[in-house]
Structure 1
Amino acid sequence: MTFVQLIDCRTSRFDEMDRLMDTWVEQTRGKRTATHAVVGKDRSDASHFIEIVEFPSYEEAMRNSNLPETDTVFRELVALCDEMPTFTDLDVVRDEKLYATTARQFFETVGTAGELPPLNGLMAESYHDHDPSNEQDVIGMDAMRREADMWRGAFDVRFTIEDQISEDDRVCTRWTFTGTHHGDFMGLPPTGREVTMTGTTVFRFDDDGKIAEGWWQYDRLGLMSRLGALDPLET
């Protein structure tokens, strides 16, 4: 179970504390078990800081605490605080990566049978799409809807999400596309073939939590080959 520790402190010497944490990060390289750390400053009190440190488990957090470098830095950190910091230990009972969930919902929506559901709950009106297979970028949610309808008109689209990585306002999704070719696709009449294609999409989210921009990379050449649109390679 993921474990999070909150360190609540007051200090007028944050710059020194920040440098101290940089030292700890360098000294514990390859040994520390913390996976993520965030420091926040109270908007109403410039001397009030809270650090949030994430670990894979409570046991891993204890391993981290027992590092000699951690003990040394802790004593130096306390000396920089205006008062003794307080600690809150939390077992994570819910961890929802909201941007990743929205990205997943996009692929599920595009793969919905029948008429394509509205995208306005997922995408910004000014959505900007970068697809190297298109001569020009697709601009606007309505244009992206037409792009999706083009694929859906040619295949019974199904996406399997293989992996997702989130950082800041971006989500990278590795996916597998599966579909039966039942409609015209780039001038190629229906073949009835079941095809698969792998790809990766990076979405950027706006301040409203909607998809504002997307970058696509996928094996379109392999797809066309599976549809019989390419001459066999000479051997």
Structure 2
Amino acid sequence: MTFVQLIDCKTHDVDRLNRLMDNWVVATQGKRTATHSIVGRDRSDSTHVVEIVEFPSYEEAQKNSNLPETNRIFEEMVAACDGMPTFTDLDVVRDEQLNKAVVTRLFEEAINGNNLDLCDELCTADYREHSAGRSSYDLDLAQARRENQEHLDAFSPRMTVESMVAEGDMVCCRVSIQGRHVGAFRGIEPTGKDLTGTGQATFRCLGGKIAEGWLNFDDLGLAQQLGMMQA
């Protein structure tokens, strides 16, 4: 279970506190178990600072606390604060990445479910799609739907999201693809061949919808499997 620790303190020297955190990052390289750190300053009180540190589990957080470098930096941190920092330990019971959720629906319901009409709900009206394997590197939503439908009709693909990372308004996915050549594609009649491939896709989200996409798929591998060119 993901574990989060909130460190709450007051200081008149935020720059010093930042330097200490930089020193800790360097000193614990290859040792620390923390995976994410956010530092926020209270807008109504510039001396009030909160650090949020994420760990894979409480047990991993304990390992991190036991590092000599952590103890040393903590002592210097206390000296930089106006008083003893307070700690709040939290077991994460819900962690919902909302942008990930809409991208997951795109793959599972729109693509694997062969229901690109759903893109009107999942994407913004001014959605733009960029892919070297399309008729243009800059497609609007209507044209992107038409060209993607051609691929769905030709190959009946199923895409599996092997990994997905979200940061800010961006979501990046690594996918594997399985399909079968069941429809005509660029002048090639259906061969019935089973096809496999890989790809990466990055999406920019806005207001709970997908506003832009950059797609990179193994078009060369597809052409080789279809006999369009030699390996």
- TM-score, structure 2 normalization: 0.90
Give me the identity figure in percent. Answer: 50
C-alpha distance in structure 1 between counterparts of 2:144 and 2:23, whole Å: 47
Would you say 1:53 and 2:53 are equivalent positions?
Answer: yes
Match of 2:119, SS state, is coil
Partner of 2:216: 217
Given that residues 134 and 147 in structure 2 are in contact (C-alpha distance below 8 angstroms), is that contact kept between their aligned partners in structure 1?
no
Given that residues 129 and 141 in structure 2 are in contact (C-alpha distance below 8 angstroms), is that contact kept between their aligned partners in structure 1?
no
Shift of 1:23: 1.0
C-alpha distance in structure 2 between counterparts of 1:121 and 1:73, whole Å: 49
Partner of 1:202: 202
Would you say 1:193 and 2:193 are equivalent positions?
Answer: yes
Q: What amino acid is the match of 2:188? A: L
C-alpha distance in structure 2 between counterparts of 1:70 and 1:222, whole Å: 49
Given that residues 112 and 157 in structure 2 are in contact (C-alpha distance below 8 angstroms), is that contact kept between their aligned partners in structure 1?
yes
Shift of 1:144: 1.8
Q: Give ranges in structure 2 of 5+ residues lacking alignment.
A: none
C-alpha distance in structure 2 between counterparts of 1:126 and 1:46, whole Å: 40
In the TM superposition, what whole-angstrom CA distance separates every residue of 1:163-190 from its partner, at most 9, and x where no partner exists? 2222332222111222222222122222
In the TM superposition, what whole-angstrom CA distance separates every residue of 1:2-36 from its partner, at most 9, and x where no partner exists? 21101112222111111111111111111111111
Would you say 1:111 and 2:105 are equivalent positions?
Answer: no
RMSD between superposed Cα atoms in Å: 1.9
Q: Give ranges in structure 1 of 5+ residues lacking alignment.
A: none
Q: What amino acid is the match of 2:219? A: R
Given that residues 126 and 139 in structure 1 are in contact (C-alpha distance below 8 angstroms), is that contact kept between their aligned partners in structure 2?
no
Shift of 1:50: 1.3
Shift of 1:135: 4.8
C-alpha distance in structure 2 between counterparts of 1:141 and 1:45, whole Å: 46
C-alpha distance in structure 2 between counterparts of 1:29 and 1:72, whole Å: 15
Partner of 1:81: 81
C-alpha distance in structure 1 between counterparts of 2:190 and 2:200, whole Å: 26
C-alpha distance in structure 2 between counterparts of 1:83 and 1:120, whole Å: 54
Q: Call closer, same or farther: CA 1:138–1:150 in 2, change over 3 Å.
A: farther
Partner of 1:174: 174
- Write out aligned runs for 1:1-235 (5 A): 1-108=1-108, 109-113=110-114, 115-206=115-206, 208-230=207-229, 232=230
Given that residues 159 and 175 in structure 1 are in contact (C-alpha distance below 8 angstroms), is that contact kept between their aligned partners in structure 2?
yes
C-alpha distance in structure 2 between counterparts of 1:57 and 1:225, whole Å: 45
Given that residues 175 and 200 in structure 1 are in contact (C-alpha distance below 8 angstroms), is that contact kept between their aligned partners in structure 2?
yes
Shift of 1:71: 1.4
Deviating above 6 A after TM superposition, structure 1's stretches of 4 or more consecutive aligned residues are none
Greater Cα shift, 13-22 or 128-137: 128-137
Q: What amino acid is the match of 2:144? A: M
Given that residues 8 and 51 in structure 2 are in contact (C-alpha distance below 8 angstroms), is that contact kept between their aligned partners in structure 1?
yes
Instruction: Please state which structure has a larger fraction of its residues in helix.
Output: 2
